[in-house]
Amino acid sequence: MADVLKFPVGFLEADDLDELSVEGTSFRSLSRLTSQRRERALAAGNLALAFSGWLDEKFRLPDVDVPRHHDVTPEVAAALVRNAWLLGERPIANMVNLLEAHGVRVFSLADDCHELDAFSTWHKERPFVFLSRAKSTERSRMDAAHELGHLVLHWQGGLREGRTHEREAEQFAAAFLMPRGDVLAQAPRRPKLADIIRAKLRWKVSVAALVYRMHRLGMITDWQYRALFVELSKEGYREYEPNGVPPEQPQVFDKVFAALRSEGVTLADVASELLITPTELRRTIFGLVSVPAP
Binding site for Zn ion (CB under 5 A): 26, 28, 169
Nearer to Zn ion, 26 or 108 (CB): 26
Q: Least CB distance from residue 245 to Zn ion, whole Å?
A: 22
Q: Least CB distance from residue 256 to Zn ion, whole Å?
A: 28
Closest to 119 (Cα-Cα) out of 207, 53, 23, 249: 23
Q: Are 216 and 174 in contact (CB under 8 A)?
A: yes
Closest to 151 (Cα-Cα) out of 209, 202, 105: 105
Q: Least CB distance from residue 120 to Zn ion, whole Å?
A: 8
Q: Are 189 and 227 in contact (CB under 8 A)?
A: no
Nearer to Zn ion, 25 or 26 (CB): 26
Nearer to Zn ion, 26 or 52 (CB): 26
Q: Which residue is nearest to Zn ion (CB)?
A: 28
Nearer to Zn ion, 157 or 181 (CB): 157
Q: Are 130 and 150 in contact (CB under 8 A)?
A: no
Nearer to Zn ion, 168 or 280 (CB): 168
Q: Are 126 and 105 in contact (CB under 8 A)?
A: yes
Q: Least CB distance from residue 146 to Zn ion, whole Å?
A: 6
Sign for the CA dihedral angle at 215, 218, 87, 164 comes to negative
Q: Least CB distance from residue 104 to Zn ion, whole Å?
A: 15
Q: Least CB distance from residue 116 to Zn ion, whole Å?
A: 11
Q: Quote the distance between the C-alpha of residue 64 and its chain's center.
A: 16
- Where does the chain show beta strands of DSSP type E? 26-27, 105-108, 118-123, 126-131
Nearer to Zn ion, 49 or 169 (CB): 169
